[in-house]
Amino acid sequence: MATFTAPATSSSRKIQIVRLAHVYYAHKNLASASKFLEDFGFVESKRCPDRIFYRGYGADPFVYCAVSGSSDSFGGVAAEVGTLEDLELASATIPGATSIYDLGTEKGAPGAGKGVTFHDPVDGWPMHLVWGQEKRRCEEAAEDEAGEKKKKKKKEEEEEEEQAFRYLEFNFFGASATSELTMFSNKGPALIHKLGHFGMCVTDFKKAYEFYTGRFNFVASDLLHNPAGQYEASFMHIDLGVNFTDHHSFFIFQGPVSHVHHTSYEVHDFDTEVLGHDWLRNRGYKNCWGVGRHVMGSQIFDYWYDPSDFIVEHYVDGDLVNEDTETKISESSPDGLHVWGPDLPDGFLA
Per-residue pLDDT, 148: 46
Per-residue pLDDT, 350: 80
Q: Which pLDDT tens digit goes with each residue over 32-78?
A: 999 999 999 999 999 999 999 999 998 999 999 999 999 999 999 99
Distance CA 74, CA 65 (A): 11
Q: Which pLDDT tens digit goes with each residue over 273-307?
A: 999 999 999 999 999 999 999 999 999 999 999 99
Residue 168 has pLDDT above 80, yes or no: no
Per-residue pLDDT, 186: 78
* C-alpha closest to that of 260 among 198, 196, 200: 200
Cis ω before 257 (30° cut-off from 0): no
Per-residue pLDDT, 6: 47
Per-residue pLDDT, 334: 81
Residue 155 has pLDDT above 80, yes or no: no
What is the overall mean pLDDT for the chain? 89
pTM of the full predicted structure? 0.87
Distance CA 64, CA 137 (A): 18
Average pLDDT over residues 260-275: 96
Per-residue pLDDT, 60: 94
Average pLDDT over residues 110-122: 97
What 3-state DSSP class applies to 288? Answer: strand
| Paired residues of 290 in beta bridges | 302
Residue 270 has pLDDT above 70, yes or no: yes
Residue 143 has pLDDT above 80, yes or no: no
**pLDDT tier for residue 12 given thresholds of 50, 70 and 90:** confident
**pLDDT tier for residue 323 given thresholds of 50, 70 and 90:** very high
Residue 236 has pLDDT above 80, yes or no: yes
Per-residue pLDDT, 173: 59
Per-residue pLDDT, 142: 42
Residue 309 has pLDDT above 70, yes or no: yes
Report the half-sphere exposure of 345 (CA within 13 A, side-chain side): 15
Task: Walk me through the domains of the chain, giving residue ranges and CATH numbers.
Answer: 17-134+190-340 (3.10.180.10)
Over pLDDT 90: what percentage of the chain? 78
On whether the CB atoms of residues 131 and 84 are closer than 8 A, the answer is: yes
Residue 8 has pLDDT above 90, yes or no: no
**pLDDT tier for residue 336 given thresholds of 50, 70 and 90:** confident
* C-alpha closest to that of 216 among 240, 181, 245: 240
DSSP state of 6: P
Phi and psi for 316 in degrees, rounded to 5? Answer: -155, 155
Distance CA 177, CA 171 (A): 8
Per-residue pLDDT, 180: 55
Per-residue pLDDT, 150: 56
Per-residue pLDDT, 145: 42
In the chain, count H helices and then E strands: 7, 20
